[in-house]
Structure 1
Amino acid sequence: MPRPSMVTASDLRSFMMATYFALRLMIAAGALLLPVVLVIWAAVSDDVDLQGSISGFYYTDARDVFVGIVVAVGVALIAYRGYSVGENWLLNLAGVLAIVVALVPTTPPGDGGMNLVHTAAAIGFFLVIALSIVLYGRLTLSLLDPAEAQRFSVAYWILTALLVVLPILAAVIAHRTGPSTALFWIETAALIAFVAFWVTKTAELWRSDADQRICAGTVACDATGQLQATDAGRS
């Protein structure tokens, strides 16, 4: 009977990094695919029209797609582990809020008003993500050279602003005018900002090789919570 091949410490680190990369990809791809799939479905189907909000697709034949993708993104956020305990808690909360958005539907078309639980969960989802960026999104920037770290920092501030402004704007429009094409595209823009953060974060971690260095034990958090090279990493 052939002996199984030996798995080295380097192999295990590669497996762990691949898992984290897959989770980040699932989160970003799911959020991006949601509006894309819904728009294509509405374009090619005689039974599904473009809705006045993304959540409005809950009451169409595309409901399973809406619920499935949003729940998948929520579960991936809960499964993902950040670079601090606080970040983990915020991502877990965002994941739970995403699942609430999927399972507690918006108000049915024509009923008027807003489902406060659904609306609060949707706005809360984006605000929690924005808060996680403000508090913890820059923990790994210390592993880059200052100029490159500054560019990523500016990108994070811009994305944070979008993640706050766009959902609030969507809520104001929904309250004043109800579902509309403008509302759908503003919600889509908020999702794209969410996707852009995860893509940008993945690029930053790739540039700094943070995952590999953390797994190898060559970086650790200092007293301020920033990641810094350890003695092993400097040698």
Structure 2
Amino acid sequence: MSTSTSPQRTHRYLRLAIGGTVVVILVAVLAAVPGFGWLSAISDYFYTPARNAFVGALIAASLALLALSGRGAERVILDAAALFAPLVALVPTVIGSASVPGVDVPCSPCVPPVARPDVANGVVTYLVVLAVVLAVALVLRTLGQAPGSLFSIILGVIVLVLVTVTGLIAPEAFLSFAHVSATVIFFGLIAADAVLNAFWRTSSRTPPRWLRITYIAIAAVLVVDMIVLLAATFARRDADGAAPPWILVGEAVALVVFLLFWILQTWQRWDEDDPASLLPADRRLPPLRRAQATVDR
């Protein structure tokens, strides 16, 4: 009978939980379809009863990503993803007058006035919590308890200042662009993590060639998908929101590809004696063009 250590089980559960957050979002959207139909974007379901599950899942994913960030370049990437996931959740997408049945949008396209107090509350809470986390991280780093956290702390400070200043000086611009910007950055970071795992060692075992090629393909799909999503988002920005669900399809593709990446990562690292997120990532993997054994030399 196999045994596992407590850190290993915690590592496994966190990884499973991140995959589960995607399932939560998709199920919540499907549960809202009978009452609201197929909207033009998954993000539009923020204005339906799916909102609580949508927001809760992204906040949970942010915490799990932060816990799994590990060391080296992957630490910076996943810490950054953890920074932007709450913004995707708390700042909704702008919608048009015909985007969501029953939602009055007098300033189409925009974040409706009825949702703005909730957004303000969520963003203020996010900023306060982020400031506390950064303060704790700085103290721990000063005490030598958080080595390698400098870049993550600097990035956190930049996001804190940028969100605060933009929210105060240009609130309408912030509401118009924060969601789509945070979404593109989040999935771009996941694409970067996939590339990192294809070419640099982030686990105690060398991944098989097919898995590394799959990581490259995942990164390519995410990048192309984000470009298409950006084009589709700005193409409908002056419309009333009653558009074909191309953005919904693009967002669904991004979520499914992210889920696939996370399943493969979980499978790759499941049986490691020491969780991969605790290992340094300072060795480049062999070139893909060479036949390579799947174990370390």
Q: What TM-score comes out, normalization by structure 1 length?
A: 0.76
2:50 is aligned, of 58, 62, 67, to 62
Report 1:97-176 matches (<5 A).
97-110=84-97, 111-112=108-109, 115-136=176-197, 138-140=200-202, 143-144=205-206, 149-176=208-235
User: What is the distance in 1 between the residues matched to 2:14 and 2:279?
Assistant: 22
User: What is the distance in 2 between the residues matched to 1:55 and 1:155?
Assistant: 28
Task: State the secondary structure of the residue aligned to 1:105.
Answer: coil
User: What is the distance in 2 between the residues matched to 1:222 and 1:107?
Assistant: 39
Which digits, 9 at most, give the CA deviation of each residue in 1:2-55, with x for residues without a partner? Answer: xxxxxxxx97x6211111111111111111331232123213xx3x33321111
Which digits, 9 at most, give the CA deviation of each residue in 1:137-188, with x for residues without a partner? Answer: 54147724xxx61011111011111121112211111111355312101100
Which digits, 9 at most, give the CA deviation of each residue in 1:177-234, with x for residues without a partner? Answer: 355312101100111000000101111223xx3x21x36xxx97586366xxxxxx99
User: What is the distance in 1 between the residues matched to 2:68 and 2:281?
Assistant: 22
CA contact (8 A) 1:101 1:121 kept: yes
Q: What TM-score comes out, normalization by structure 2 length?
A: 0.61
CA contact (8 A) 2:55 2:89 kept: yes
More RCO (CA 8 Å, sep 6+): 2
1:198 is aligned, of 257, 262, 274, to 262
User: What is the distance in 2 between the residues matched to 1:174 and 1:194?
Assistant: 20
> Which one-letter code corresponds to 1:118 in the other structure?
H
1:188 is aligned to 2:236: no
Equivalenced residues, count:
204
Gapped regions of structure 2 (runs ≥ 5): 98-107, 111-174, 238-242, 286-295
The list of structure 1 runs, each at least 4 consecutive aligned residues, that deviate by more than 6 angstroms after superposition, is none
CA contact (8 A) 1:77 1:92 kept: yes
How has the CA–CA distance of structure 1 residues 157 and 190 changed in structure 2, closer, same or farther, with 3 Å as cutoff?
A: same
Find the counterpart in structure 2 of residue 73 from structure 1.
61
User: What is the distance in 1 between the residues matched to 2:96 and 2:30?
Assistant: 18
2:24 is aligned, of 20, 33, 40, to 33
Find the counterpart in structure 2 of residue 229 from structure 1.
none
CA contact (8 A) 2:229 2:250 kept: yes
> Which one-letter code corresponds to 1:189 in the other structure?
V
Task: State the secondary structure of the residue aligned to 1:61.
Answer: coil
Task: State the secondary structure of the residue aligned to 1:106.
Answer: coil
Gapped regions of structure 1 (runs ≥ 5): 1-9, 227-232
User: What is the distance in 1 between the residues matched to 2:48 and 2:91?
Assistant: 15
User: What is the distance in 1 between the residues matched to 2:281 and 2:183?
Assistant: 35
